């Protein structure tokens, strides 16, 4: 391929991001920083590349959720994307047997139907006993503490999460921020105004939470 338009995932392929790479690495490594916002007014400024490259280079376990994949703005769409993100997560850590088996065991034990076949995770979202996001985050937190890692959950294109789905996701993130010390979040997106409203709107579940911010090529 002559010209690859995908986000970069290796440092050798990432240009002119020394400072951003250093700052994001610092935030990810700092146990007091629980929420990181990577944003840009413009598209294609390298936000996703910076995040993926930094996490890969640091070797920090992460779950990457791209909200653009939530085609139907309904809960089912979100759960499908989460299922895919978790499957990808398991596949990525397949060489790390201890970490992998702990996460598989945890996911298989979540109340309300999480099925794991090999590396394929599927979250059942239809029934009233569907796993709640807050519950999933709590399990992630516990298993991360057990394995001795801090798990990073990336929510990319966050500006697309609005409406009642947004409230559900941001409430769960706020709960995790307040109570769960072993997971941290990177929230990324393009539209500054919308992203701001997640933090500065008193109606928003994440209102008033402190976050570290990064603006590639800002
Ligand atoms: N610093 C960089 N070094 C090398 N390639 C880069 C860099 N920044 C961006 N690119 C390239 O530019 C394109 C856009 O990058 P990326 O998808 O990471 O940006 P983005 O800000 O997340 O874009 P979007 O707003 O569409 O989500 C990709 O092809 C990526 O490989
Ligand atoms: Mg992007």
pLDDT tens digits along 95-119: 999 999 999 999 988 877 788 999 9
Ligand 1 pocket: which of 1, 2, 44, 158 to mutate (most atoms within 8 A of CB): 44
CB 23 less than 6 A from any atom of ligand 1: no
The number of helices, as runs of H, and strands, as runs of E, in the chain is 7, 7
Region at 43 (left for phi over 0; alpha for psi -120 to 50; beta for the rest): beta
Decide: residue 132, CB within 10 A, 0-12 exposed, 13-18 middle, 19+ buried: middle
In the predicted structure, residue 217 carries a pLDDT above the cut 90: no
Stretch among 35-49, 134-148, 171-185 having the lowest mean pLDDT: 35-49
CB 64 less than 6 A from any atom of ligand 1: no
CB 11 less than 6 A from any atom of ligand 1: no
In the predicted structure, residue 182 carries a pLDDT above the cut 70: yes
Buried b (16+ CB within 10 A) or exposed e, 54-64: bbeeeebbbbb
CB 7 less than 6 A from any atom of ligand 1: yes
DSSP summary character for residue 210: -
Model pLDDT for residues 115-129, shown as the tens digit of each residue: 899 999 998 877 777
Centre of ligand 2 from the C-alpha of residue 169, in Å: 19
Q: Which residues contact 16 (CB under 8 A, 6 or more apart)?
A: none
Mean pLDDT of the chain: 90
- The better pLDDT of the pair 129, 92 is held by 92
Model pLDDT for residues 28-84, shown as the tens digit of each residue: 999 999 999 998 878 888 999 999 999 999 999 999 999 988 766 577 888 899 999
35-39 and 212-214 strand pairing: parallel
Cα–Cα distance between 131 and 84 in angstroms, integer? 16
Q: What percent of the chain has a predicted confidence (pLDDT) above 90? A: 65
Cα–Cα distance between 78 and 95 in angstroms, integer? 28
Centre of ligand 1 from the C-alpha of residue 215, in Å: 13
Going from the N-terminus, what domains does the chain have, and what CATH number goes with each? 34-214 (3.40.50.300)
Centre of ligand 1 from the C-alpha of residue 5, in Å: 8
Q: What was the pLDDT predicted at 60?
A: 94
Cα–Cα distance between 165 and 182 in angstroms, integer? 24
Q: What was the pLDDT predicted at 218?
A: 63
- Atom 1 of ligand 1, nearest CA residue: 15
pLDDT mean over 157-165: 88
Q: What was the pLDDT predicted at 4?
A: 76
Ligand 1 pocket: which of 49, 68, 190 to mutate (most atoms within 8 A of CB): 49
If DSSP codes are grouped into helix, strand and coil, which group holds residue 59?
coil
Q: What was the pLDDT predicted at 2?
A: 56
Q: What was the pLDDT predicted at 73?
A: 57
pLDDT mean over 199-203: 90
Concatenating the DSSP letter of every residue in 122-180 gives: EE--SSTTPPPHHHHHHHHHHHHHHHT--EEEEEETGGG--HHHHHHHHHHHHHHHHH-
CB 3 less than 6 A from any atom of ligand 1: no
CB 49 less than 6 A from any atom of ligand 1: yes
In the predicted structure, residue 1 carries a pLDDT above the cut 90: no
Name which of 126, 113, 7 is nearest 56 in CA terms.
7
């Amino acid at each position: 391929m002559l010209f690859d338009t995908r986000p970069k995932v290796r440092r050798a392929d990432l240009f002119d991001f020394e400072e951003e790479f250093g700052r994001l690495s610092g935030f990810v490594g700092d146990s007091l920083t629980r929420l990181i916002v990577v944003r840009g007014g413009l598209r294609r400024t390298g936000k996703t590349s910076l995040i993926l490259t930094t996490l890969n280079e640091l070797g920090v376990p992460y779950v990457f959720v791209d909200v653009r994949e939530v085609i139907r703005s309904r809960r089912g769409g979100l759960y499908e994307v989460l299922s895919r993100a978790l499957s990808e997560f398991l596949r990525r850590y397949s060489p790390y047997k201890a970490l992998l088996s702990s996460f598989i065991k945890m996911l298989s034990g979540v109340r309300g139907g999480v099925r794991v076949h090999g590396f394929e995770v599927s979250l059942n979202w239809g029934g009233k006993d569907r796993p709640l996001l807050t519950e999933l985050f709590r399990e992630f937190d516990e298993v991360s503490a057990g394995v001795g890692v801090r798990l990073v959950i990336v929510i990319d294109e966050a500006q697309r999460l609005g409406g009642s789905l947004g409230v559900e996701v941001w409430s769960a993130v706020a709960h995790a921020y307040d109570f769960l010390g072993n997971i941290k979040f990177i929230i990324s997106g393009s539209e500054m105004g919308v992203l701001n409203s997640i933090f500065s709107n008193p109606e928003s579940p994440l209102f008033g939470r402190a976050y570290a911010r990064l603006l590639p090529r800002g």
